Amino acid sequence: MRSRNFARFLTIAVLLMALTAVSMVHAQDKKILVTGINMTNGDPESLDPGLSQDTKQIQILDELYVGLTRLDEVSLEVKPGLAESWTVSDDGKVTTFKLRQDVPWVRYNAETDAVEELKDDAGKVRMVTANDLVYAWKRNFDPATASPYIYVLAPYVAGGAEFAGPDSELGVKAIDDFTVEVTSPVTAPFALNIYGMWFSRPLLQSVIDDAGTSWTEPENTATYGPFAFKEWKHEESATLIKNPFWPGTDAVPQPKLDEVVIKFLDDTTQLPEYEAGTMDAIEVPADQLDRVKADPTLSTEYSNGVQNCTYYYGFNSTKAPFTSAHMRLAFSYAIDRAAITDNILKAGQIPARWYTRPGNVGVPTVEDAPADFGVSFNVDKAKEEFAAGLKELNLASAADLPSITLAFGNTPLHTSIGQAIQQMWKDNLGVSVELAALDTTTYFSVQREDSNQIFRAGWCADYPDANNWLNETMHTGVAQNYGKFSNPDFDKLVEQAAVEPDTAERSKLYAQAEDILVAKDAGIAPIYWYVTKQLRKPNVEGTYSVIGAEYYEKWDIAP
């Protein structure tokens, strides 16, 4: 009896396997890309453009929605997205966008297995209009929505900073169905970037009203970008499907892929998946690079690109001994950045000599900058500044220094770098620094409230302009400025540069600001500039993004 049951079980199992095999063969007709780029373990926190803020979310949102402007992921040019064209008033404060008139709202229908246009009550196809954009902006500015990122847009739309609710005035107006006028209180050359960011994109009000908070689920949602939302397996994956109704523009072409499966996997799991042949594109975990770069097959599929981020250590300039700029500079000079990038990181990360990653508007490139610009590893200068620092603090020797703590979030990378730098300070300055490895949330809250003497931090650009770095993260009193760095000259320079229309002139101002930030006043010690480190199967064709999010509509899988 038992063995017969077993036989039955086996038969069913074999049948099931055969079925799976058949369906897999069938699936191969479609071009499906399985990717883990920009993803980590666990669900994106939200896929509501108004509530999103991290790379994971932006990666998906960039495919579902297209901004008024679209940032070219390779050249960093601002290109037309949902807007065909725009005009800027003479004083630079009023921008009028002409929207495309051929973009419908769509949703994937699981029953018909097709992407369908949404219709209004009259049965007409519901197009993306200027009013949808105005609705989205007002909704995201509404305190009840509590959008975590809309503050980036606030300074560049009239009434943004003061917006208190649906009745408040906001400097965005629908002139007609397909014309939007945005009024900014200031002239800002980079505002065009911000008008295209994920929190500035149109939303369909009826969907949000009907489905409440679950409107972002594929069965309720309304999107219009090059891909539509097919499936969201929470904590596991999101599947995007080609949106045939996206008209296809120069900047955002019709996708060549039929589907993109985005898996939410830990980086240590992505590599085995890739090696087993079940994923097409991944980011390589740093600690596995040695093997990947040496492997005869994997090394040919491996590539590096720019990632618009900087890794740095900040000093709390209100706590001894870092009240002394000499002391801060001494600790910065004593970090052998190349030893870290060569031996620990290994993916071609660049030792950072200043804060803003080169490639952003208004920043010198490594080649153009004078050799002595910024800060780099220099033991002699470190000792010199250290002595000057001791003198400034009226201390006789290093032994009189108060105990110094370096704090970081307890992740393998931060822990490795922290220990390496701890030894460099010991070797080069003779100072023993305590390490405090804190759980990440505690770490962030401690830094926010009252940062440690030295703390680890990093910044990835929201938009590729020095303003996003220097003004928005290092100005006196801004949130990211954990170490309370404050220098009136610096503030004046970045404020001036923010409204200066001429790029060459802005670059000069930012260069002076950088000099203050990393050298003269040494508010931070920049450590390295990030790179991407991807593996892509040989049959995957596509662009290499330098902005973080990949634009999968430009990708393809060769047969």
Partner 1 sequence: MVKYVLRRFLWMFLVLFVISIVTFTLMHAVPGGPFDREKPLPAANLKQLNEKYHLDDPILKQYADYVGSIVIPKVTSGKQVKSLDHDYLFNIKLPFGEGNPTFRWINFGPSFKSTSRTVNDIFRENLPISFQLGLAALAVAMAVGIPLGVFSALKHNTTYDYLGMGVAILGVSVPVIITAPLLQYFFSVELKWVPVSGWGTTAQAILPAVALGFAQSAILARLTRASLLQVLGEDYIRTARAKGMPERVVISVHALKNGMIPVITILGPLFAALVTGTFVVETIFGIPGMGRFFVTSVTGRDYPVIMGTILLYAMFLVLANLLVDVAYAWLDPRIRFN
Partner 2 sequence: MAAINKTSSPIGGVTQLSTVPKGQGLWADAIRRLFRNKAAVVGLIILLLNVIMAIFAPIIAPKSYTDQTLTQNNSAPLWITQIFPSMIPKGDVGGYVTINNDYTLGTDNLGRDLLSRIIYGSRISLEVAIVGPLVSIALGLLIGMIAGYGGGRIDNFLMRIVDIMYAFPTFLLIILLMAFFRTSFGGKHEPGSLTYVMGQIDAAMGGMFFIFLGIGLTSWMQMARLVRGQVLSQREREYVEAARALGDTTPSIMLRHILPNILGPLIVAETLTIPTYISYEAFLSFIGLGVNPPTPSWGSMISEGSRVISTYPYQALFPALALFLVMFAFNFLGDGLRDALDPRMRGQG
Is 5 one of the binding residues for partner 1 (CB under 8 A)?
no
Q: What share of the chain is helix, strand, coil (3-state, %, to 5)?
A: 35, 20, 40
Nearest to 100 by CA among 57, 65, 132, 68: 68
Is 290 one of the binding residues for partner 1 (CB under 8 A)?
no
Binding residues among 474-533 for partner 1 as defined by CB under 8 A: 478-480, 482
State the alpha helices, DSSP H only, in 475-529: 488-499, 503-514
Is 28 one of the binding residues for partner 1 (CB under 8 A)?
no
Is 323 one of the binding residues for partner 2 (CB under 8 A)?
no
Long-range contacts of 144-149 (CB under 8 A, 24+ apart): 145/50, 145/51, 146/51, 147/50, 147/51, 147/199, 148/51, 148/53, 149/52, 149/53, 149/198, 149/199
Out of 109, 220, 416, 496, the only residue in the binding site for partner 2 (CB under 8 A) is 416
- For residues 140 and 202, give the distance between their C-alpha atoms in angstroms, rounded to a whole number: 10
Assess contact for 229 and 524: CB atoms under 8 A.
no
Q: Least distance in Å: CB of 327 to partner 2?
A: 16
DSSP state of 223: B
> Kind and range of the H or E element at 422?
helix 412-429
Assess contact for 361 and 466: CB atoms under 8 A.
yes
Site string for partner 2, 273-312 (x = CB under 8 A): ------------x-xx-xx-xxxx----------------
Strand spans (E) along 110-177: 114-117, 172-176
Unique residue bearing structure tokens 């002409």: 98
Chosen from partner 1, partner 2, none, partner binding at 89 (C-beta under 5 to 8 Å by type): none
Chosen from partner 1, partner 2, none, partner binding at 296 (C-beta under 5 to 8 Å by type): partner 2
Site string for partner 1, 105-144 (x = CB under 8 A): --------------------------------------xx
Nearer to partner 1, 288 or 496 (CB): 288
Assess contact for 176 and 168: CB atoms under 8 A.
no
Is 37 one of the binding residues for partner 1 (CB under 8 A)?
no
Nearer to partner 2, 64 or 345 (CB): 345
Beta pairing, strands 259-263 & 32-35:
parallel
Give residues with Cβ within 8 angstroms of 271, minimum separation 6.
282, 284, 285, 288, 292, 535
How remote is the C-alpha of 427 from its chain's centroid?
Answer: 35
- For residues 55 and 457, give the distance between their C-alpha atoms in angstroms, rounded to a whole number: 17
Return the structure tokens found at 254.
């019709």
Q: Report phi then psi at 309, rounded to 5.
A: -140, 155
- For residues 235 and 233, give the distance between their C-alpha atoms in angstroms, rounded to a whole number: 6
Is 432 one of the binding residues for partner 2 (CB under 8 A)?
no
Among the residue ranges 62-70, 180-188, 342-350, 390-398, the one whose residues contact partner 2 (CB under 8 A): 342-350
Nearer to partner 2, 66 or 401 (CB): 401
Site string for partner 1, 215-234 (x = CB under 8 A): xxx---------------xx
Is 434 one of the binding residues for partner 2 (CB under 8 A)?
yes
Nearer to partner 2, 195 or 274 (CB): 274
Is 458 one of the binding residues for partner 1 (CB under 8 A)?
yes
Within 13 Å of residue 38, how many CA atoms lie on the same side as its CB?
24
Chosen from partner 1, partner 2, none, partner binding at 84 (C-beta under 5 to 8 Å by type): none
Out of 347, 420, 460, 557, the only residue in the binding site for partner 2 (CB under 8 A) is 420
Is 402 one of the binding residues for partner 2 (CB under 8 A)?
yes
Assess contact for 204 and 64: CB atoms under 8 A.
no
> Kind and range of the H or E element at 210?
helix 205-211
Q: Report phi then psi at 271, rounded to 5.
A: -65, -50
Q: Least distance in Å: CB of 322 to partner 2?
A: 12
Q: Least distance in Å: CB of 410 to partner 2?
A: 4
Site string for partner 2, 356-375 (x = CB under 8 A): --------------------
Is 450 one of the binding residues for partner 2 (CB under 8 A)?
yes
Chosen from partner 1, partner 2, none, partner binding at 273 (C-beta under 5 to 8 Å by type): partner 1
- For residues 141 and 149, give the distance between their C-alpha atoms in angstroms, rounded to a whole number: 10
Nearer to partner 2, 388 or 446 (CB): 446
Q: Does residue 24 sit in helix, strand or coil?
A: helix
Out of 319, 328, 456, 554, the only residue in the binding site for partner 2 (CB under 8 A) is 319
Is 441 one of the binding residues for partner 1 (CB under 8 A)?
yes
Q: Least distance in Å: CB of 55 to partner 2?
A: 19
State the alpha helices, DSSP H only, in 430-487: 440-450, 466, 472-474
Is 335 one of the binding residues for partner 2 (CB under 8 A)?
no
Q: Least distance in Å: CB of 241 to partner 2?
A: 34
Chosen from partner 1, partner 2, none, partner binding at 384 (C-beta under 5 to 8 Å by type): none
Chosen from partner 2, partner 1, none, partner binding at 344 (C-beta under 5 to 8 Å by type): partner 2
Out of 84, 116, 219, 273, the only residue in the binding site for partner 1 (CB under 8 A) is 273
Which residue type is seen at 111?
A: E
Q: Least distance in Å: CB of 238 to partner 2?
A: 25
Q: Report phi then psi at 465, rounded to 5.
A: -145, 140
> How many residues contact partner 2, by CB under 8 A?
45
Q: Least distance in Å: CB of 319 to partner 2?
A: 8
Long-range contacts of 369-373 (CB under 8 A, 24+ apart): 373/511, 373/514, 373/515
The sign of the torsion formed by the CA atoms of 271, 277, 278, 279 equals: positive
Assess contact for 247 and 106: CB atoms under 8 A.
no
Which residues contact partner 2 by CB under 8 A? 268, 271-272, 285, 287-288, 290-291, 293-296, 319, 339-340, 342-344, 402-403, 405, 407, 409-412, 415-416, 418-420, 422-423, 434-440, 442, 446, 450, 452-453
Q: Which residues bind partner 1 (CB under 8 A)?
A: 13, 20, 41-43, 45-48, 51, 53, 143-144, 146-148, 151, 209-217, 233-236, 263-266, 268-269, 272-273, 275-278, 439-442, 444-448, 458-459, 478-480, 482
